[in-house]
Amino acid sequence: MKIQLLTLALLGILSAQAQERQEILLQDDWQFSRDKQTWQTVSVPHDWAISGPFDKKWDLQTVAIVQNGEKIATEKSGRSGSLPWIGEGHYKRVITIPSDFSGHAELIFDGAMSEPTVYVNGKQAGYWAYGYNTFRVDITPFIKGGENLLEVHLKNVEESSRWYPGAGIYRPVTLVLTPQQARIDDWGITTRTELHVKNGKGVDCTKLVVEVPILNAGQGLPVIMELFAPDNKNKIWVCPAPQKRGSGKAVGTFMIPDAQLWTPETPNLYKLRITLCDGISAPNVYDDFGKAIDRKTMKLGLRTVRVSKEKGFQLNGVTRKLKGVCLHHDLGPLGAAVNKAALIRQIKIMKEMGCDAIRTAHNMPSQWQMDICDSLGMMVMAESFDMWKYPKCKNGYARFFDQWADKDITNLVKANRNHPSIVMWSIGNEIPEQWSEEGREMAIRLQGLVHSLDATRPVTQGMDRVDNALASGFAQAMDIPGLNYRLNKYQKAHDTLTHGFLLGSETASTVSSRGTYYFPVTPTDKGVHPDGQCSGYDVEWCSWSNLPDDDWQWQDDKDWVIGEFVWTGFDYLGEPTPYDEYWPSRSSYFGICDLAGLPKDRYYLYRSHWRKDEHTIHLLPHWTWGKERVSEVTPVYCYTDYNEAELFVNGKSQGRIKKNKDSRLDRYRLRWNNVKYKPGEVKVVVYDANGSVAGEKVMRTAGKAAALKAEVWTQTSNLQSQISKLKADGNDLAYVTVSLVDKNGTLIPDATDQLSFEVSGAGKFRAVCNGDPTSLEVFTESTMKLFAGQLVVVCQAGKEKGQLTLTVKDKQRKLTRKISIPVE
């Protein structure tokens, strides 16, 4: 189809005459109740359980966790987070419809936990079983001009989750009004990118094919597609795409020379504007296309995905290995209530580490999360379920699988298939049926359903019973065979399968606590300690898992291992392995960052391996110990991309060493295992491949506590900035890391002082978290103890411009720190 190049002036005429659809975010003015007697005003997204209190009685489960190899049921007090998420919740608010409205009205729920039933003006308008899925409700038959009552009923039952699921309308709700019944089916839009290679020497031209279904098209209505370049300059491509009469679909083809392709390093996004016209001739508009009656604008990225035996995983024809992490859906102290600034912070922290992919484990992602992954450049494995017909917990998704699985897969793919960040779909995680013929058939059916909805991406799932999955043909059925752990089965899987590649769909599960160290340093899969913490030396793992170093040996030595997704990027609420039976313990230890988003030492181990554009030099442990450790062996580790370094304690060399490819823990780390602690200064000097000094890192023993240090993060700043701005939108967040330091700014690493917080001016206090998985302090109370000398305060901007001021007090030491943040 011919592509025309038009000026913006002509397009402005069309724009002025368009009847825009309205997409209204229903955020404020909700009323919430647990009993329909007492109501409170809340904003959505909302998580009713995050304010606690923590208590072991909530969802107390007596189970044997099969995935952990357990055979005897025991009491699991913190398995789903020890927060009061079980029970019913009720939401209501008024929505206003124009008095002359005669078109189509629908509600889009991005997720509600759980089993949401939707009522409009007292009549049931919709229901969805799965709390993690996006769903639409056609409310056209139930509305009237003026005020309409919208109600949502939710029900969470005990033992329905293996982690903290959250509670409430925890993702956005959007009201969509289209002015006529004939309209663009935005969930039906599909895009396909093809790269045209010239003489095998690079991409000459990029082809984009767009298909747009039109609902209630009648005799066939004309559609115009406009593609705007990422740089937003005055050049655009316009593709008139009239429908074939009665076909209900318009197809447009764009041939784009020198296209700006989407990658994690260059997340270029084009803007596609689709306009449905009435077909009645009108002056100064596109000939006979007529006036606009509906319009949809969306962002998209031009990129291709392919996995092959010869080339492995390829993005835009370039082979690369996935450097991914798994992320649960909770946002630490915010709970399950999704927030754009919080998501941006997560993705930026991971990208700074060198991560280029996330797996939405073990559930369907939020639309905001995918939008952010598109714009920041983060590849995604979008996952669906944690179980099929066989239950992992008594009241889990297995209750719904037979009736709802196809519907849920359909919504997952339709709602997300135009996100360039998504590079593969996952139809399950450690599904018990993987050993059986029934399971193989279910896998084939679900994968086939995905292919029918999206032929541009491969499908995978995480398998943990490798021998069974190979014997049944379950693994053979997948586009991408994904193995969860089981490194000792990698070679057998590769030799058995004909794919020629496999993916570490879930790796490592190393456990650690930020700033916590034990002596002697002992690599072990049985690392439990009296205080309920794990070693920050990154040498403790679970009986079924391993260390990062183990995964990297396979990925570096075997071309056919196409990458990994580490369990996990951040700690999450619930599943406190290896302390499932320990109280108090209510969140995980797997995270590369803790629950507050503060990096553990392991963050720098991954950064030293994954970042190729910047160097990493990190020392551990801290160097502030009591008299009992003086002259005691205190090993020092250096996480760096350099191969060689020399360590000094108070100027005395502890030896110059190199990494050792033949040693499990010395291939990717530099370790001085016989250092004896003496207060003062530890310095490491690193050397490049030529033996020349390339850099150094120093850590010192802290003196007496002298000040509260504050570092502010907002979404407009980078990770190293001090003070930045907040948007006066009522949603934007500032994360303030508070540290107790000595007069020289050195962290007091064992400080546990009780701090208090007050926010005044153009914002409010939202939450606080110290990253301690055993803390029972409430996130939404304005006081908390330091853990390993630090915590993070979350402040939320108001809707008025001004200054937000956070005051932090340490009454024990009579210290105060004020931080002012502009809200504009």
Give the residues across from 719 on adjacent strands: none
Alpha-carbon gap, residue 236 to 255, rounded angstroms? 12
- Return the DSSP state at 541: -
- Domains, in order of start, for the chain: 8-18+185-300 (2.60.40.10), 22-49+85-178 (2.60.120.260), 311-509+544-576 (3.20.20.80), 707-823 (2.60.40.10)
Q: Active-site residue among 115, 151, 159, 506?
A: 506
pLDDT of amino acid 69: 77
pLDDT band at 368 (very low <50, low <70, confident <90, very high): very high
pLDDT of amino acid 11: 37
- Whether pLDDT at 1 is above 60: no
pLDDT of amino acid 449: 98
User: Is 758 a known active-site residue?
Assistant: no
Q: Which residue type, as a one-letter code, is found at position 108?
A: I
User: Is 430 a known active-site residue?
Assistant: yes
- Whether pLDDT at 15 is above 70: no
pLDDT of amino acid 258: 87
Residues in the chain, total = 824
Task: List the strands of the sheet with 790-797, edge to edge.
Answer: 707-713, 733-741, 790-797, 763-769
Mean residue pLDDT across the chain: 93
pLDDT of amino acid 285: 46
Give me the percent of the chain exceeding a pLDDT of 90.
86
Q: How far is CA 271 from CA 210, 227, 242, 650, in A?
A: 13, 6, 20, 58
Dihedral sign from CA coordinates of 447, 448, 452, 457: positive
Locate tokens 């024809």: which residue?
A: 317
Q: Which residue type, as a one-letter code, is found at position 452?
A: S
Q: Active-site residue among 115, 159, 226, 430?
A: 430
pLDDT of amino acid 694: 98
Alpha-carbon gap, residue 461 to 439, rounded angstroms? 12
pLDDT band at 278 (very low <50, low <70, confident <90, very high): confident
Average pLDDT of the segment spanning 606-612:
97
pLDDT band at 68 (very low <50, low <70, confident <90, very high): confident
Average pLDDT of the segment spanning 531-542:
98
Rounded to two decimals, what is the model's pTM?
Answer: 0.96
Average pLDDT of the segment spanning 406-427:
98
Which range has the worst mean pLDDT, 9-18, 548-557, 683-692? 9-18
Encode pLDDT of 184-217 as tens digits.
Answer: 999 999 999 999 866 666 667 899 999 999 998 7
pLDDT of amino acid 716: 84
